[in-house]
Amino acid sequence: MKEQQQRLRVAALQIHIDAGEPEKNFDRVQKKLREAASAAVKPDIIVLPEMWNTGYALDRIHELADAGGERTRSMLAEFSRETGIHIVGGSVAEKKGNDVFNTIYTFDRHGNETGEYSKIHLFRLMEEEKYLAAGEKPGMFQVDGSAAGMMICYDIRFPELARTLALAGAKVLFVPAEWPKPRLHHWRSLLIARAIENQMYVIACNRMGISGETEFFGHSIIIDPWGEVLAEAGEAEEILTADIDLALVDEVRGRIPVFEDRRPQLYRLE
Kindly give, in sequence order, each residue whose CB lies less than 8 Å from that of residue 138, ignoring residues fewer than 6 positions away.
117, 120, 149, 150, 161, 164, 165, 168
Q: What is the pLDDT of residue 1?
A: 36
Read off the DSSP letter of residue 100: E
Q: What is the pLDDT of residue 125?
A: 85
What is this structure's pTM? Answer: 0.96
- Tens digits of residue pLDDT in 84-119: 999 999 999 999 999 999 999 999 999 999 999 999
Q: How far is CA 154 from the centre of its chain?
A: 11
Instruction: Tell me the CATH architecture of domain 3-266.
Output: 4-Layer Sandwich (3.60)
Sort 69 into a burial class: Cβ within 10 Å, 0-12 / 13-18 / 19+: buried
CA dihedral defined by 196, 202, 220, 137, rounded to 10 degrees? Answer: -120
What is the spatial distance between Cα 56 and Cα 171, in angstroms, rounded to a whole number?
30
- Tens digits of residue pLDDT in 200-243: 999 999 999 999 889 999 999 999 999 999 999 999 999 999 99
Evaluate whether 196 touches 226 at the Cβ level (below 8 Å). Answer: yes
Active site residues: 50, 119, 153
In sequence order, what are the beta bridge partners of 204? 175, 221
Can you give the residue ranges of every domain in the chain? 3-266
- What separation, in Å, do the N-terminal and C-terminal C-alpha atoms of the chain show? 44
Evaluate whether 226 touches 22 at the Cβ level (below 8 Å). Answer: no
Evaluate whether 134 touches 119 at the Cβ level (below 8 Å). Answer: yes
